[in-house]
Structure 1
Amino acid sequence: MKAAVLNAFGEKLAIETLPDPVLGTGEVIVDVVAAGVASYTGGVLSGARKYLLELPVVPGPGGIGRVRATGPDATKLVIGEWVFCDPTIRSRDDAVRPDMMLLGWTAVGPAALPLHRYFHNGTFAEQVLLPTENVTPIGEIEAADAGRWCALSSLLVPYGGLLAGDLRPGETLVINGATGGFGSAGIVVALAMGAGKVVATGRSEGALEDLAHRFGPRVQPARMTGFEQDDRRLIGKVAGGPIDFVLDLLPREASPSQVLAAVLAVRPGGRVVLMGGVGRQGGDGLAPPYPWFMRNDITVRGKWMYPRIAVSQMVRLVRAGLIDLAQFDVTEFSLDKANDAVTYAAANAGSLRLIALRPDRSC
């Protein structure tokens, strides 16, 4: 099979021919049709993000494809059907404390390296090997739409946070970091789940205005200044009433004060879910105001990725018409142009934008 291979951090991806994956029990081989390219892929490939990857490796966390082969334990998957490849792989020998990894992206700690060594290569390739439980049918689609269905990867992350925080219909939600890929996708999901109002925070006035224009009066923009007290007051003013839930999706470049501005705006008895990257670059993390959390009965929860059942639930939201994938702007590259795709993704990050590799297409 043809694949884009990272042989050394800081090098360009090499387009190589690798042996096809070999099927084992409890596994599925998928012919990859489209694989999303995140805006920060360049930081992963350069080593700047310090992700736990053993090289050489085929990058690529998740994608859309068709089932090529299944193991003897698969009872419902059909050869040739369209599926989503879930990159969140969990060890199977400890249901309470599973070790986890993102396929072709990073092991979550050294204990997950055995997983990474076995399910080693990601979806920047013509074929990929996955655990059976990481392959979810999405129903019939046109091959031309496979890149757009890569939006599932963007939608599922905030969906995991909204499920963790138990978003209820009619509630007022703050999405902190709403102008990024995950944040803007979070708006889409929150509205589909029945949020009454979404306060979208961000620094780009133009991006915030675009979100408000796209989604109408249920989405209210709040442009952040970097001054915690001023930003907190603005969030409360824009909300126009009690804030039930804060979902933080700020990137690692953000400061703790940006997190606190939203967190401290939540009402007494409210909920906060932290899914962002603040503090991961070695700077200060979030110093929680312990007495304030305690006295105001605030529920704070961290969440990484999403539960396995979320994938089929997200597919149902799309199929029901509650989420329209046409909202996403898609730019596609053939596998041979993988390095161009990485460069383009870094330069064109933003709200509801998708960059996809198409291993099914030639130059």
Structure 2
Amino acid sequence: MKAAVLEQFGQPLVVQEVPDPVAGGGEVLVEVLATCVLPYAADVFGGVRRYPLETPVVPGLGGVGRVLALGPDATRLRVGDLVWCDPTVRSRDDARTPDITLQGWSSRGEGGLALSRHFHDGSFAERMVVPTENVEPLGDLDADQVVRWAALAVPLVPYGGLLAVGLEAGETLLVSGATGNFGSAAVAVGLAMGAARVVAVGRNTEVLAGLERRFGPRCRSVALTGDAEADTTAMRTATGGGADVVLDLMPPEVGADVVRRAVMSVRPRGRVVLMGGVGMLGGDDLALPYPWIMRNDITVCGQWMGPRTANGRMIALARAGLLDLAHEDVTRFALDAVNDAVAHAAAHGGPFVRTIITPQSAA
């Protein structure tokens, strides 16, 4: 089969023939129909993000596929099923604290790296093998829907964070870093989950205004000015005195002081979930005052990805129309044009703009 291989960091991907993967017990062989290229993929492949990804590797973060073969432990999946392939792979020998790898992308700790050596290759290929529990049926979709559903990897990230802090219908959510790919998806997901108000925070005033137009009066925005006191006041005002939940998705290049202001706009007994990149490229770490956390009963948690059950629940939100995938701006590339796709994604990382590779299409 054909696959795009990252042979060394800092070099272009090479599309070449590689051995066909074979599914064993507990695994599913999938024909990859569409997979999303994230805006920062160029930074990963260039080594800028320093991800623990061992080369050579076929990268790619999940996607939509069709089942070609099943292991003997699958009881409900059938050959021919259209499925979503979740890239978050968990070890099976520790249910409480499993090691985690993002198949074809990244991993956590030594255990995650060891796991990645088995589930090593991702979705920039004509076929891939994934764990049985990572395959979620999608039902019938037409070709146009398939490419839009391939971007499910983006809203699944903030959805995992909002599940972790238990966002409830009627609450107020503040999204710190709302103008990028993941942050704008967080706004859509928060509204889909029933938030009464979502406050989008960022620097790009044009994008913030676009979010307000797209989502209407339940979405409000705060444009950061760099003035700490003014920004904090604006966030508290926009949330009606303090958010119930603050979700941080600021990228690595943003300073910790910007994140700190958003975190401290949460109301007493509020919850904060950290999913951004502060400190990943150096710089100050996030410091929060102990007395403020303790005396205001603040819950602060970190979340990397989400639970396995998030996949089916998010698919249900999209199926019901609560999370609308139809309005996304999708650009398709054939597998042979993978490097063009990576460059396009880097240059088009705005809200609801998706770059999709369709490995079965001709170049």
Q: 1:94 maps to which residue?
A: 94
Verify: 1:261 aligned to 2:261, yes or no. yes
Q: Name the SS of the counterpart of 1:325 in structure 2.
A: coil
Instruction: Return the alpha-carbon distance in structure 2 between the equivalents of residues 226 and 91 of structure 1.
Output: 43
- The one-letter code matched in structure 2 to 1:305 is M
Deviations 1:247-290 (A, max 9, x none): 11111111111111111111111111111110111211101111
CA shift for structure 1 position 151: 2.6
CA shift for structure 1 position 155: 1.1
Instruction: Return the alpha-carbon distance in structure 1 between the equivalents of residues 260 and 225 of structure 2.
Output: 13
Asked whether the equivalents of residues 151 and 328 of structure 1 are also in contact (C-alpha less than 8 Å), the reply is no
The runs of 5 or more residues in structure 2 that have no matched partner are none
Q: 1:318 maps to which residue?
A: 318
Asked whether the equivalents of residues 273 and 302 of structure 1 are also in contact (C-alpha less than 8 Å), the reply is yes
CA shift for structure 1 position 340: 0.2
Instruction: Return the alpha-carbon distance in structure 2 between the equivalents of residues 207 and 5 of structure 1.
Output: 34
- 1:45-64 equivalences under 5 Å are 45-64=45-64
Q: 2:151 maps to which residue?
A: 151
Instruction: Return the alpha-carbon distance in structure 2 between the equivalents of residues 208 and 41 of structure 1.
Output: 24
Q: Name the SS of the counterpart of 2:305 in structure 1.
A: coil
Q: 1:161 maps to which residue?
A: 161
Asked whether the equivalents of residues 66 and 80 of structure 1 are also in contact (C-alpha less than 8 Å), the reply is yes
Q: 2:24 maps to which residue?
A: 24
Instruction: Return the alpha-carbon distance in structure 1 between the equivalents of residues 237 and 90 of structure 2.
Output: 42
- The one-letter code matched in structure 1 to 2:41 is T
Q: Name the SS of the counterpart of 1:269 in structure 2.
A: strand
Instruction: Return the alpha-carbon distance in structure 1 between the equivalents of residues 143 and 212 of structure 2.
Output: 32
Q: 2:85 maps to which residue?
A: 85
Q: 2:249 maps to which residue?
A: 249
- The one-letter code matched in structure 2 to 1:199 is V
Asked whether the equivalents of residues 172 and 243 of structure 2 are also in contact (C-alpha less than 8 Å), the reply is yes
CA shift for structure 1 position 114: 2.2
Instruction: Return the alpha-carbon distance in structure 2 between the equivalents of residues 110 and 270 of structure 1.
Output: 34
Deviations 1:29-79 (A, max 9, x none): 100000100000001111111111111100001111111110000001111
Q: Which moved more, 1:218-227 or 1:196-205?
A: 218-227
Task: Provide the TM-score with structure 2 as the length reference.
Answer: 0.98
CA shift for structure 1 position 157: 0.7
CA shift for structure 1 position 230: 1.8
Instruction: Return the alpha-carbon distance in structure 1 between the equivalents of residues 25 and 164 of structure 2.
Output: 32
- The one-letter code matched in structure 2 to 1:220 is R
Deviations 1:82-135 (A, max 9, x none): 111100001111111211100101121222222111111100000011110011
CA shift for structure 1 position 81: 1.0
Asked whether the equivalents of residues 35 and 151 of structure 2 are also in contact (C-alpha less than 8 Å), the reply is no
Instruction: Return the alpha-carbon distance in structure 2 between the equivalents of residues 55 and 264 of structure 1.
Output: 41
Instruction: Return the alpha-carbon distance in structure 1 between the equivalents of residues 327 and 189 of structure 2.
Output: 12
Instruction: Return the alpha-carbon distance in structure 2 between the equivalents of residues 362 and 118 of structure 1.
Output: 30
Instruction: Return the alpha-carbon distance in structure 1 between the equivalents of residues 21 and 144 of structure 2.
Output: 25
Q: 1:4 maps to which residue?
A: 4
- The one-letter code matched in structure 2 to 1:119 is F
Instruction: Return the alpha-carbon distance in structure 1 between the equivalents of residues 192 and 206 of structure 2.
Output: 24
Asked whether the equivalents of residues 58 and 122 of structure 1 are also in contact (C-alpha less than 8 Å), the reply is yes
Instruction: Return the alpha-carbon distance in structure 2 between the equivalents of residues 220 and 41 of structure 1.
Output: 30
Asked whether the equivalents of residues 235 and 265 of structure 1 are also in contact (C-alpha less than 8 Å), the reply is yes
- 1:297-312 equivalences under 5 Å are 297-312=297-312
- 1:1-363 equivalences under 5 Å are 1-363=1-363
Instruction: Return the alpha-carbon distance in structure 2 between the equivalents of residues 280 and 226 of structure 1.
Output: 21
- The one-letter code matched in structure 2 to 1:72 is P
Percentage identity across paired residues of the two chains: 55
Instruction: Return the alpha-carbon distance in structure 1 between the equivalents of residues 205 and 353 of structure 2.
Output: 17
Deviations 1:185-218 (A, max 9, x none): 1111111111001110010000000000000010
Deviations 1:149-206 (A, max 9, x none): 0231111111111111111111111011111111111111111111001110010000
Instruction: Return the alpha-carbon distance in structure 2 between the equivalents of residues 226 and 153 of structure 1.
Output: 31
Instruction: Return the alpha-carbon distance in structure 2 between the equivalents of residues 226 and 84 of structure 1.
Output: 41
